[in-house]
Chains A and B, each alone.
Chain A
Amino acid sequence: MIGGPPILITGAAGFIGHATAQRLLARGDQVIGVDNLDDHGDPALKAARLATLDGHAAFHFVKADVAEPEGMARLVHDHDVRRVVHLAAQAGVRHSITTPFACERSNVGGHLAVLEACRQAQTFEHLLYASSSAVYGDRPLGSAGFREDDPADTPVSLYAATKRAAELMSHSYAALHGLPQTGLRFFTVYGPWGRPDMAYFHFTRLTLAGEAIDIYGNGAMTRDFTYIDDVVTGIVGALDRAPARGEHRILNIGEGRPESLMTMIATLEAALGQTTRKRMQPMQPGDVTATWADIARLHRLTGYRPRVGLAEGLQRFVGWYRDFYGVAA
């Protein structure tokens, strides 16, 4: 594999893209990182993530927007890219409500541009792309995890709708062009270098600043929190097992264990060694009540088994946070 055709990662300055690039580089892959470095999220954090990759001789960064079809096609063509990990997106429900067209452009238009670029490649092996647990819509927790063939036709946010739309577009590209693909439905990925707009990150900042936190849904929400390292293991495992031509598989990637929001907060407070005032708030528009991944399919394919539980994962996150932002314990 060393010295072979490069793996292209879109959204390489993002949370999961950065971690995936690190893992692939560590094992000797050539990586081309693509990111438009837009100012959604935290530009300084994106730059800091990229800075950790820049030293690798096998890493090549290209500032580009996935929603530019010609640029994407040229990248894939010029570098003889055969495997793409497409993680670029306008992530999160909140942005999709406030900037719907930007969300659509990135998540739908961008996905199509990547599909087209891959379809046009001379030799193409595998497109692995990010979907979301949001596609399951607002459903009760129930007694078992959400399975990939459960209905996913009732999105309650535009973000979920764009992610589901991307899955359906991928299905059509597999049927039409035989493009081998894997869609990974991520379940609340967290950890070092994470997204500042995510609840655990936001709560950490506020707690350390001695400010109150707003707890939406009155705390009656449940999430399948998935540690970043486990997610990357799942991504790489799935990437290395390319589907057959014409195959499009969708896989959950979670910890397989739902935790209540209040448990997450208590665990985070324990990791921080301090508590803060909490204000109960109603549900935010677009949020779902619960997520819970059935991870049997990914396990069967790759042997995936999450290693890092919530307490350990949040401990590692807090350690990184204190170090990165210079907040002494």
Chain B
Amino acid sequence: MTIRKTIFPVAGLGTRFLPATKAVPKEMLPVVDRPLIQYAVDEALEAGVETMIFVTGRNKSAIEDHFDMAYELERIQADRGKSLAALEGTRLTPGNAIFVRQQEPRGLGHAIWCARDIVGDEPFAIILPDELLIGRQHGCLAQMVAQYDKVGGNLVCALEVQPEETHNYGVIDPGRRDGVLTEVKGLVEKPARGSAPSNLMLPGRYILQPEVMALLATQEAGAGGEVQLTDAMARLIGKQPFHGVTFDGERFDCGSKLGFAQANFALAARDPAMGEDLKAWAKALLATERVNML
């Protein structure tokens, strides 16, 4: 069964980016010239997804507006004979952008569960927009869908990290490996240093079977008093096929200021219109001008 629906959990407060996120949802912060959420939606579109389900919170209406028609703007630009090319991909097919609210912050698992009636009885994808994944050839979700067509079941994106970094992440306990596919025997949240079963972390892309919704419904609050998606997924392991798909590309953790700045720089540096200028400027900026003293 193809993946027609993707959930974007976007209810978070984005407090790490205050004051930028006081009035603007953090998913609307731009990386170069596109808001983060649009990278996520573009990734889903590339993978063949039709229905975008945004699990939002209060103060997130800018996301709805972003994927709507910008009537006034479009009219003025058209009257002036200006191109509307920059808006391409921001207006979704009518009926294909669905917004549901998570009234209170009770964890990722709870946010996903809020979309249960929209997802219904079919497999679905999840994209965490904070995690900006730039695929080498194809987007991350497209890479996962290609593997889903072979093995079905549940898939998580797996990203290879340095072994000394694994204690920061959820990590896969690996079984058999076959190319980019790794059988998932278990999921370990933030393993103690030196105890990680692999260096495959989970960077926030999932394809899950609808049964996970039933598990989330009965899920007790876990770490941090929140309903954890990882706990529900762990309960699927052994009952349904469960694989990791090693991602071929780059990850930017746009939930952190450093990752966000890196994403902006990296993507701007490969922009054909300004990349060379930016790199030349950065090189000059970083070259500490040292002098000879004698």
Contacts and interface: CB of A to CB of B under 8 A. Distances in A.
A202 B291 contact: yes
A134 interface: yes
A132 B293 CA distance: 12
A91 B292 contact: yes
Interface string A133-151: 1100000000000000000
Nearest to A189: B294
B292 A94 contact: yes
A133 B291 contact: no
A198 B293 CA distance: 6
B294 A214 contact: no
B292 A214 contact: no
Contact of B289 (A198, A214, A223, A287): A214
B288 interface: yes
A288 B294 contact: yes
Mostly, the A contact residues are mixed
User: Which one of A94, A203, A261, A288 has the greatest number of beta carbons of chain B within 10 Å?
Assistant: A94
A92 B289 contact: no
Contacts of A203: 291
Contact of B294 (A202, A216, A291): A291
Interface string B266-294: 00000000000000000000001111111
Nearest to B294: A188
A221 B291 CA distance: 13
Nearest to B292: A92
Contacts of A287: 293-294
Interface string A84-119: 000000011110000000000000000000000000
Contacts of B289: 202, 214
A59 interface: no
B288 A133 contact: no
Contacts of B288: 214
Interface in B48-79: none
Contacts of B292: 91-94, 195, 197-199
A132 B288 CA distance: 25
A76 to B, nearest CB: 30
B290 A133 contact: no
Interface in A189-228: 195, 197-199, 202-203, 214, 216, 221, 223
A44 B288 CA distance: 23
A187 B291 CA distance: 16
Given A132-B294, A197-B291, A214-B289, 13 more contacts: A92-B292, A94-B290, A94-B292, A187-B294, A195-B292, A202-B289, A202-B291, A214-B288, A214-B290, A221-B293, A223-B293, A288-B294, A291-B294
Interface of A: 91-94, 132-134, 187-188, 195, 197-199, 202-203, 214, 216, 221, 223, 261, 284, 287-288, 291
28 contacts: A91-B292, A92-B292, A93-B294, A94-B290, A94-B291, A94-B292, A132-B294, A133-B294, A134-B294, A187-B294, A198-B291, A198-B292, A198-B293, A199-B291, A203-B291, A214-B288, A214-B290, A214-B291, A216-B290, A223-B293, A223-B294, A261-B293, A284-B290, A284-B293, A287-B293, A287-B294, A288-B293, A288-B294
